[in-house]
Amino acid sequence: MNNGVMVAGEGRSIWVVGDRYTIKCSGNDTSGAYALVEAIVPPGSGPPPHIHSREDEAFNVLEGELQFHADGLNFTATSGAWVTLARGSLHSFKNSGSKTTRMLIVVTPAGLEAFFLEIGRERRSTGKPNP
């Protein structure tokens, strides 16, 4: 594992299904153990229902609130909430509020961040995705 410091605003940012994901720590930094992604989820945004077959995910909501659906359960996660989802869990989340939500996503093992980089669109300096 590498030692390092990343200041606020640093990290590679991409747009994935309308959300801005900034890779704060990748599998390259942790010998594949985990990845850390900061997510900015605008009102009305969030991924469709999906399953990860190899990764567990944990979400720490820092600002705002999200509606989660996981394996038939529906719940609201507000600022300060910690949500853990096991691999194989059918899940989705959506920002159904009027304010942008910010959260940290921990993925174990790492690798999902590489998928995000592959399918996402690079962030422009304006904060909007490239066309």
Which two structure tokens, joined as six digits, stand for 69? 């659906």
In a domain? residue 82: yes
Q: What 8-state DSSP symbol labels residue 51?
A: -
Which residue is listed with tokens 């300096």?
Answer: 125
CB contact at 8 A, 42 and 100:
yes
For the cut 50, the answer to whether the pLDDT of residue 131 exceeds it is no
Mean pLDDT of the chain: 88
Largest separation between any pair of C-alpha atoms in the chain: 40
Domain count, the chain: 1
Asked, for residue 1, whether it belongs to a domain, the answer is no
Query: What number is the average pLDDT over the span 37-55?
Result: 95
38-42, 103-107, 115-119: which has the minimum mean pLDDT? 115-119
Q: Which pLDDT score, from 0 to 100, does residue 88 have?
A: 96
**Residue 71 is assigned to a structural domain of this protein:** yes
Q: What is the CATH number of the domain that holds 97?
A: 2.60.120.10
Task: Report whether pLDDT(57) > 90.
Answer: yes
Could you give the C-alpha distances from 97 to 57, 69, 77, in angstroms and in order?
23, 16, 12
For residue 41, what are the domain limits? Answer: 12-122
**Is residue 105 in some structural domain?**
yes
pLDDT > 80? residue 51:
yes
Query: Residues in the chain, how many?
Result: 131
> 41: which residues sit within 8 A by CB, 6+ positions away?
19, 64, 66, 93, 95, 100, 101, 102, 103
What is the rounded average pLDDT of the residues 9-22? 86
Band of the pLDDT at 125, cuts 50, 70, 90?
Answer: low
